[in-house]
Structure 1
Amino acid sequence: MSKLKSTPHIEVEINLDEMDLSRAESKATYEEIKEYVLKNYGMNVTNLYIAQVKRKYGIIERINYNLGEGKTRVPQVTAEKEEAIEDALRHFQMIS
């Protein structure tokens, strides 16, 4: 009979303004970075270029097992696009 008066849930109030930005929230997707660069710089960047810049800053998501045989030439990000991607990473608070 005591179960009849119990509440089925507990209400909790959390003020998110006081919480710091978690590491997961500060990560931007490749698509978000591409959109930011296109909107602010008018340039299209590839996932490869974004990965090269992220690697430069030590942001390694996971190990790449699809390395190939090493016979083909891998295009390198240009200085202009590298600067734009770095700005996007700063915007999304992934680097300082």
Structure 2
Amino acid sequence: MDELDLTSGETKATYKEIEEWVQEHYGFHVTNLNIAQVKQKHGIIERENYNKPKSENSRQPGTTPEKERAITEALKFFKMI
């Protein structure tokens, strides 16, 4: 954190805030899965996922590069990365 004396709790944005920021600045919708995937890619892991697939070879849809860039910008805006 910069010169500002912020705690990590003060710099966390909710998924809803990130979703709204992306919608306002980029004009498209991102899902909670998109946000979680980008956060994980940047090393922001909040908790273990308890809703795990039963099959080992199940697939999750990926996040498009355009959405990934938008979410990354939102995380920077909210000073999470």
1:90 is aligned, of 63, 68, 76, to 76
Which stretch has the larger CA shift, 67-76 or 46-55?
67-76
Structure 1, gaps ≥5 residues long: 1-17
Corresponding residue for 2:8? 23
Measured in 2, the distance between the counterparts of 1:80 and 1:56 equals 15
Q: Give the TM-score normalised by structure 1.
A: 0.76
Q: Radius of gyration: which is bigger?
A: 1
The within-5 A match list for 1:15-94 is 20-70=5-55, 71-94=57-80
Structure with the largest fraction of helix: 2
The Cα of 1:29 is off from its aligned counterpart by 0.1
Q: Determine what percentage of the aligned residue pairs are the same residue.
A: 58
The answer to which of 68-77 and 42-51 deviates more is 68-77
Q: Which has the higher contact order (CA 8 A, sep 6+)?
A: 2
How well do the aligned residues superpose, as a CA RMSD in angstroms?
1.5
Shift of 1:19: 5.8
Distance 1:19 1:79, change over 3 A: closer
Q: Which runs of 4+ in 1 moved over 3 A?
A: none
How many residues of Structure 1 are paired with residues of Structure 2 in the alignment? Answer: 78
Decide whether aligned partners of structure 1 residues 25 and 68 sit closer, same or farther in structure 2, where only a CA change above 3 A counts: same
Structure 2: 5+ residue runs without aligned partners? none
**1:7 is matched with which residue?**
none
Cα distance in 2, alignment partners of residues 73 and 61 from structure 1: 21
